[in-house]
A and B are shown apart, each in its own frame.
Chain A
Amino acid sequence: MKRRDFLYFSGLGAAGSILPGFTTMGNIIRPEQALEPGIDVAQKKRLADVALNAARSKGATYTDVRIGRYLNQFVVTREEKVENIVNTESFGMGIRVIANGSWGFAATDQLDNDSIAKAAAMAVSIAKENARLLKEPVQLAPQKGYGEVSWKTPIEKNAFEVPIKEKVDLLLGVSDAAMKAGANYITSLLFLVNEQKYFASTDGSYIEQDIHRIWPAFFITKIDAATGKFETRNSLSAPSGMGYEYLSAKPQDKIKSVTTLYKKSYDMLEDARLAGAQAGEKLKAKSVEPGKYDLILDPSHLWLTIHESVGHPTELDRVLGYEANFAGTSFLTLDKWQTKKFNFGNKLVNIKADRLQPGSLGAMGYDDEGVKCGQWDLIKDGVLVNYQVIRDQAHILGLNASQGCCYADSWSSVQFQRMPNVSLQPGREKKSIDDLIKGVEKGIYIIGDGSFSIDQQRYNFQFGGQLFYEIKNGKIAGMLKDVAYQSNTQEFWNSCAGIADESDYRLGGAFGDGKGQPMQSNAVSHGSATTHFKNVNVINTARKIG
């Protein structure tokens, strides 16, 4: 999903029909067509070899081929109406080559031998045309071929197999629950993804992967007609690398706090009921007094702060300047890493990069340049120790292998460095949410993600949320509204004052992390337990117009 499409979704509450955006995602198909097997693996290998051989014969010194079948399903309801049920399929091949030391890329949706050979030749000719604009030839970290291997997201129930009627019933039930609880408007959606990817390279890998993701969400509005004020409350679900089992709520996955919080499964009906009532409470809540507060941040909120302030600045392509014109660069420059003592945060702060974590959006067996996925430290005891690296960057850090961070959002997009899951490790001492709240004299407990913005080097950020509760002398003292906090990344992570233990550890995430020109989207999760930050600047966001 490109960022504009993402905005489309985040503006769902206000938008009319949302269909036009879907036609860019592939051909619209019948639901049952998504369950048809697609071409078999032997044929994929044959087609990939056509591309590898064609590129080699034109002078490529390295080639990789991705054959992708990307399936999406959207079920969208608004109040008591079904807005849209759409299934899309996108199928084709992307060919990336190195020729004369330069990258070239071309893609085709016509998979006959002739079209494949033409695309391979075009990729090589682009590489050769651009070689005159190089400073130095591309250096690829060595990568052994794995032969013929495969990997699947470990799902229990393929969401594409669940009848549409069951999904529509669920979403209309969600509408009903929210409206009965006081909501005026609600848009709900189920967004399913299945990436069936085949990768082959001149290193001798032939990798088949079957990746599943699911995102259930709703957006509620509550209006006070007399004053003309309105408030919104979005779902607290986490987009997940799971099947439909994510929607079978298990009691052990519920955490009872001021609202119910969810771990590895989600009770959409319960959250909608609570949200309908909370949107009404928000209308009556006290407008926050600006100033310094301790913040207790729930994982349903903190994932986005981790994403923006840790995930992005540790992307090596940003550090090196490849994103200078758009997404930006990074304050975590190589000299800071080289000192081996740059205190990104205090000693409580341990942050890992990871492409293996079950249930996460970033979990996969191999990345899009055929590198086996793993896990590594980014921030160790508060110190910056590593970045996110792909094959043509590894030599810059003196590494002899990529970390497996290469990803493309379609067969038609060129793969580049994308964020793996980046997660804050839970506290080592036993500590609950209540224990953290008890330790706060003047603070705000924030649940759910809201407005977010950060500068292009990832210093200065501002975040909102969904639910805000005032903490006075260790106790919740009622709801607040108009809250956003501003901080500086290094100052913020050095103000960490306590992290709940692993029994509170949860994932949040996004389908639509945008980077690159043309923009590509990446799906990524961020885990954490509830965390306490001291003395953060809180602003009041209420304004009056007209």
Chain B
Amino acid sequence: MPLLTQDQARELLKKVLAYSKADECEVNISFGQNANIRYARNAVSTSGSIGQSSLVVSSAYGKKLGIATINEFDDASLEKVVRRSEELAQLAPENPEYMPMLGPQQYAASSKTWDEGTAAIDAKYRADAVEQSLKISKDSGLTAAGFLEDSRGFSAMMNSKGLFAYNTNTRVNFNVTVRTEDGKGSGYASKGFTDVSKLDVAAATSVAAQKAKGSAEARAIEPGKYTVILEPAAAIVLLENLLYSMDARSADEGRSFLSKPGGTTRLGEKLMDERVTIYSDPQNPELPTAPWNGDGRPQEKVTWIDKGSIRNLPYSRFWAQKKGVKAVPFPDGFIMEGGSQSLEQLIAGTEKGVLVTRLWYIREVDPQSLLLTGLTRDGTFYIENGKIKFPIKNFRFNESPVIMLNNLDALGIPQRTVSGESNSHALIPPMRIRDFTFSSLSDAV
């Protein structure tokens, strides 16, 4: 299927809704063309391109909901998928948590989630990008493994109550790991943008190459509590676990780090350093995201953590109604306010500490305190008197992002970064943290 314009999408969705006989009907349509190239051992390994489209029809009779999907768009198929969703709704048990569909919504003007340059990326662009990256690794006598992926698509929805939403999006992600030939050094860089003109594959590869060379001959230092500087690619994997564990219902039910004795929650409480402010804003020019979410709710600017206090929790529509509060959805990306220092200035201002490039294999150990574990990877260095002194062996950490953000020491300038665990994007500053808990050493490079 081609990428539909707003008018084309509206016409198609109207046509689907015209087939509906249910009490309520909602149609979501999406299309994405995703392409990628992968390389390792200084040569290309796999590459592919796949286009996927999906039309999802939700039909409801009373509190009985049926959902059917299809990826063919001729009239007969459209009618068939509506009928199938209606049959499934008739067969479904009544859902006591069913929420009537939303009426027309006001969305902010579409943020800049689409870029023509990104949409035009082709096989030659991808191969050229890999060639640039490989030139740097080969010229330095290093070995690179990396991945470039790009996507373009649109999504739209309409329902029988008059709601209509439409958005287009592009994204490009590039990440690379450069290693020394003897396997003793490894460096990493990761970038992601809506607008491909901001992507500099050579610069990212050079950073990874420098870290690879600089991290060989790592020394072991004792595990324990250290001042750390987390680069944005390291911080994002901890912060995303914090943000996505803030669900209001879990907190109210008593099974989240935000639950308190007696059935109350920590909403409104100050849990972190007052320099910690985390919000989401679909209109942010550095991290534009869709102005609506998958169930049609507007995505607005929301402050989640305000000067260290828990300000807002995300709600499902059912739970918000039950609690009589506004149904604020989970955000598509998040932004943490920073300071004015560069990473270099943060290092220069550190008496003794550890610079962390990347954290890996993050898993929740205890949902009650949000204790997480994982390891440093691809460039870990010891800092003394404001200078990087020597590379150190990797550590396992056991730390809660709540405790970590309480021990905040300094913040740098936020940058758009991509999670190496979930692929989600955020705008995050590098940060210096006191007393970060490393619990054991790892021999991994």
Contacts and interface: CB of A to CB of B under 8 A. Distances in A.
Partners in one complex: yes
Interface of A: 4, 7, 13-17, 19-20, 23, 26-30, 81-82, 85-86, 102-107, 109, 122, 125-126, 129-130, 132-136, 168, 184-185, 221, 223, 225-230, 232, 320-326, 328-329, 331, 333, 412, 414, 416, 451-460, 462, 464, 482, 484, 486, 488, 517-518, 537, 539, 541-546
24 contacts: A14-B245, A16-B247, A16-B316, A23-B56, A27-B68, A27-B69, A126-B47, A126-B123, A129-B124, A225-B254, A228-B254, A228-B261, A322-B40, A325-B146, A325-B147, A326-B420, A451-B373, A452-B363, A462-B365, A517-B36, A518-B36, A541-B365, A542-B366, A543-B403
A344 B281 CA distance: 51
Interface stretch (B92-100, B103-111, B213-221, B384-392): B92-100
Nearest to A107: B50
A17 B316 contact: yes
B442 A459 contact: yes
Interface string B356-370: 000011111111111
A129 B125 CA distance: 11
B269 A462 contact: no
A408 to B, nearest CB: 11
A125 B123 CA distance: 9
Contacts of B259: 228, 230
B70 A27 contact: yes
Contact of B365 (A7, A133, A323, A451): A451
Nearest to A122: B49
Nearest to B35: A126
Interface stretch (B162-170, B171-179, B282-290): B171-179
B441 interface: yes
B377 interface: yes
A329 B373 contact: no
Given A105-B46, A106-B50, A333-B183, 14 more contacts: A14-B250, A29-B68, A122-B49, A228-B259, A228-B260, A325-B188, A331-B443, A453-B361, A455-B444, A486-B396, A541-B371, A542-B369, A543-B371, A546-B402
A408 B424 CA distance: 24
B127 A130 contact: yes
A135 B123 contact: no
Contacts of A229: 368
Interface in B14-61: 34, 36-50, 52, 54, 56
A129 B127 contact: yes
B311 interface: no
Contacts of B398: 462, 539, 541
A14 B257 CA distance: 12
A484 B364 CA distance: 12
A232 B367 contact: yes
Nearest to B266: A546
A460 B49 contact: no
Given A226-B262, A541-B398, A484 B365 contact: yes
B145 A109 contact: no
Contact of B84 (A30, A122, A320): A30
Contacts of A126: 47-49, 123
A223 B131 contact: no
B88 interface: yes
A452 B373 CA distance: 9
A28 B361 contact: no
Contacts of B354: none
B377 A545 contact: no
Contacts of A136: 43
A268 to B, nearest CB: 20
Nearest to B122: A129
A19 B253 CA distance: 21
Contact of A453 (B36, B130, B362, B423): B362
Interface in B247-265: 247, 249-250, 253-257, 259-263
A228 B262 contact: yes
A232 B250 CA distance: 13
Contact of B127 (A13, A107, A133): A133
8 smallest beta-carbon distances between A and B, as pairs: A228-B261, A460-B442, A457-B444, A324-B145, A455-B444, A133-B44, A543-B369, A16-B316
A544 to B, nearest CB: 7
A230 B45 contact: no
A546 B265 CA distance: 11
Contacts of B131: 132-133
Contacts of B183: 329, 333
Contact of B444 (A30, A106, A460): A460
Q: Which of B147, B255, B261 has the most CB of A within 10 A?
A: B255
Given A28-B69, A456-B444, A545-B403, A14 B396 contact: no
B197 interface: no
A462 B396 contact: yes
Contact of A517 (B38, B88, B375, B422): B38
B442 A455 contact: yes
A514 B341 CA distance: 37
A505 B48 CA distance: 42
A456 B71 contact: no
A530 to B, nearest CB: 24
Most chain B beta carbons < 10 A, residue from A228, A229, A325: A325
A130 B37 CA distance: 9
Given A130-B44, A230-B254, A486-B440, A456 B361 contact: yes
B374 A81 contact: no
Nearest to B41: A321
B149 interface: yes
Given A16-B316, A86-B67, A320-B41, A223 B48 contact: no
Contacts of B68: 27-29
A506 B443 CA distance: 32
A419 to B, nearest CB: 17
B328 interface: no
Contact of B375 (A4, A102, A460): A460
A130 B318 contact: no
Nearest to A81: B96
B266 A454 contact: no
A455 B360 contact: yes
A348 B363 CA distance: 31
B69 A414 contact: no
B87 interface: yes
Contacts of B130: 133
B44 A545 contact: no
Contact of B373 (A109, A323, A462, A537): A462
Contacts of A453: 361-363, 373-375, 396
Contact of B47 (A130, A326, A456): A130
Nearest to B261: A228
B294 interface: yes
Contacts of A458: 444
A126 B423 CA distance: 25
Nearest to B247: A14
A228 B134 CA distance: 54
Given A130-B127, A542-B369, A105 B250 contact: no
B375 A455 contact: yes
A346 to B, nearest CB: 19
B347 to A, nearest CB: 25
B187 to A, nearest CB: 11
B280 interface: no
Nearest to B57: A28
Contacts of A7: 422
Interface in B405-445: 420, 422-423, 439-445
B403 A16 contact: no
Contacts of B396: 453, 455, 460, 462, 486
Contact of B40 (A325, A333, A518, A539): A325
B438 to A, nearest CB: 11
Contacts of A484: 365, 373
Contacts of A82: 93, 95
B207 interface: no
Contacts of B394: 455, 460
Contacts of A486: 396, 439-440
